[in-house]
A = this chain, B = another copy of it.
Amino acid sequence: MVHFDYSLAENSSASEIMSSAFDSVKEEMDSDRIGYYKLPTHSLAHLDRLKELDTSSFSQIVIIGIGGSSLGIKAIDSILRPYTADAKEMLFLENSDPITIAETMAKIRRDEACFFMISKSGSTIETTSVLKTLIDHFDIDLDGSDKHRVVAITDSGSVLSDFAKHHKLLEFNIPDNVGGRFSVLSAVGVVPLAMAGYDIEALLAGAGELISDFFDHKEDHLLQKAYSYATHSKTQSINVLFSYADRLEDLTKWYVQLWGESLGKIDKDGNRVGLTPIGLIGAVDQHSFLQLVIEGPQDKSVTFINIEDFQRDITIPDVTLEGIEKTNFINNQTFGRLINEQCKATMQSVTESGVSTDSITLDRVTPANIGKIIAYYELLTSLIGSIFGVNTYNQPGVELGKQILYKNLSK
């Protein structure tokens, strides 16, 4: 169960804008122009296909991908791992940083690894460069004994798809109407995470339930939040996602990409719009960023995420530190209670300072709950994009840098 706490005093102009945003995303879904809404059911076919494969010889899943081809997978792996017995190890080769590449390669057990080459376009420079390096370093025989350990996930018809077909590799496709940052519930996330041992059917079911509840008007807090965020974007231009669990950090990075790249756009009237996403981790960032939220410019809204029951909790023992007896009030309490009370106290102090807050509460960490949060942020992003009047699904701003890079490196 996930509780999304958001409410807005409705007024008539709000109601009209919210209704129009709802119709707009519904049209995206119904027309099949945008495909992520239907992934919770469409992706089940990948799971069926996986069941036919013998994956028992793999003890490692190596993801070669960056951006939308890694962030969502990492987010789910990170949060579910402590709650999933015997999940296979996952390694991520994302960046073009030589130190990281060398360190990650040193962890790969060549003969127990399954390599996932993930790229929507197929020609991502970081990803193809890493694949070349792995082929060379591990002497991977794509046409012989290693054929079964290299999997391609890409658009049908992409250059990576050509490569997979040339070597007759196992290939999964991303629907054309699903963009990279909305692709975690497509083959991109579903296939490697299921192979790692996560309960992906439950993850998809949770996401599917939230999406169908939204279209059944059972989750109208999403419309209210989208309306409020979009219409206050000039004054509250920054949204902070303050997660009270270390293992939600990768989810905040997934959210930063989704939010930043979808909404930071030139709108249909030529104006620059956007909401700046920031991910924080509680209680750590109470000792860092919180002062700025409370006393700095009031240009932020803050969403708190907490987990009511960590399940694997630790009780703080009844130990007295001589001289520090004043901390004895915490003895016999759990760390789970401490971090949740820290979340509550921080939210109260932020609210009292005049900053807008809202909260997302997971009763426990389950695949279904994480699926819901993913669907929640995807829907929220689409709704705000619709109110902004931007194309939520492209990223024209990053092209110039790529052109400059290719020009400079091809010299």
> Which residues of A pack against B, CB within 8 Å?
66-68, 71, 82, 94-103, 122-123, 125-126, 128-129, 131-133, 135-137, 159-163, 165-167, 180, 237-238, 244-247, 253, 256-257, 260-261, 263-266, 272-274, 276-278, 281, 283-284, 286-300, 310, 312-314, 316-317, 319, 321-324, 326-327, 329-331, 333-339, 341-342, 344-346, 348-350, 352-353, 395-398, 400-402, 404-406, 408-410
When the two chains form their complex, are residues A405 and B292 in contact, meaning their CB atoms are under 8 A apart?
A: no
Q: Top 7 A-B pairs ranked by shortest CB distance?
A: A67-B287, A264-B292, A162-B323, A274-B296, A264-B296, A294-B397, A136-B317
Please, which residues of chain B bring their CB within 8 A of the CB of A291?
Answer: 260-261, 264-265, 395-398
What is the minimal beta-carbon distance from A132 to any residue of chain B, in angstroms?
A: 4
Extra contacts besides A126-B338, A166-B322, A261-B288 (4): CB < 8 Å: A97-B335, A125-B330, A167-B322, A278-B278
* Most chain B CB within a 10 A radius of its CB, from A244, A336, A353, A401: A401
When the two chains form their complex, are residues B310 and A288 in contact, meaning their CB atoms are under 8 A apart?
A: no
In the complex, A273→B247 CA distance in Å? 32
Count of identical protomers in the assembly: 2
Please, which residues of chain B bring their CB within 8 A of the CB of A401?
Answer: 286, 290, 342, 345-346, 348-350
Given contacts A284-B66, A346-B401, contact A101 B314 (CB under 8 A): yes
When the two chains form their complex, are residues B321 and A163 in contact, meaning their CB atoms are under 8 A apart?
A: yes
When the two chains form their complex, are residues A405 and B324 in contact, meaning their CB atoms are under 8 A apart?
A: no
Residue on B nearest A411 in the bound complex, by CB: B329
Please, which residues of chain B bring their CB within 8 A of the CB of A136?
Answer: 317, 319
In the complex, which of the residues B97, B98, B135, B321 contacts A132, with contact meaning CB atoms closer than 8 Å?
A: B321
Please, which residues of chain B bring their CB within 8 A of the CB of A82?
Answer: 99, 103
Query: Main SS of the interface on chain A?
Result: helix
What is the minimal beta-carbon distance from A173 to any residue of chain B, in angstroms?
A: 15
When the two chains form their complex, are residues A98 and B312 in contact, meaning their CB atoms are under 8 A apart?
A: yes
In the complex, A353→B401 CA distance in Å? 11
When the two chains form their complex, are residues B295 and A129 in contact, meaning their CB atoms are under 8 A apart?
A: no
Please, which residues of chain B bring their CB within 8 A of the CB of A353?
Answer: 397, 400
Please, which residues of chain B bring their CB within 8 A of the CB of A349?
Answer: 400-401, 404
* Most chain B CB within a 10 A radius of its CB, from A100, A123, A324: A324
When the two chains form their complex, are residues B409 and A330 in contact, meaning their CB atoms are under 8 A apart?
A: yes
What is the minimal beta-carbon distance from A22 to any residue of chain B, in angstroms?
A: 25
When the two chains form their complex, are residues B237 and A299 in contact, meaning their CB atoms are under 8 A apart?
A: yes
* Most chain B CB within a 10 A radius of its CB, from A312, A331, A397: A397
What is the minimal beta-carbon distance from A405 to any residue of chain B, in angstroms?
A: 4
When the two chains form their complex, are residues A128 and B327 in contact, meaning their CB atoms are under 8 A apart?
A: yes
Q: 18 A-B contacts, Cβ less than 8 Å apart? A: A66-B283, A67-B284, A68-B287, A82-B99, A95-B284, A97-B310, A98-B335, A122-B324, A129-B327, A132-B317, A163-B324, A238-B276, A261-B290, A265-B295, A329-B406, A345-B408, A349-B404, A353-B397
In the complex, A330→B125 CA distance in Å? 8
Residue on B nearest A105 in the bound complex, by CB: B314
